[in-house]
Amino acid sequence: MKNYKLIQNAEEFLKRDESGVFNEADITQAMIEFAKLHVELALKAASEDAQTECDEGGELGFVNKETILNAYPLTYIK
């Protein structure tokens, strides 16, 4: 994924609420939103970075599973 540096880390994500006061419901909602953000970005990265391969006869095409699994490194989630 080309623009991964634009992704907010957890601290930046929580600082959207300038009050700095969080209750359990706020934290739960923030965690859900943060996870959704990263899942969306991971799926986008996989769709952009997935590579296809063909069998030896060049007829049967398939997606290389490793390119999808490695399209969005867990190190992006901070």
- Which residue is listed with tokens 């623009």? 3
* pLDDT tens-digit readout, 42-51: 888 888 887 8
Give the pTM. Answer: 0.60
pLDDT in the model for residue 40: 85
Q: How many domains does the chain have?
A: 1
* pLDDT tens-digit readout, 34-72: 888 888 888 888 888 878 888 777 777 778 788 888 888
Domain range enclosing 38: 4-76
Angstrom distances, CA of residue 26 to CA of 16, 32, 75: 12, 10, 25
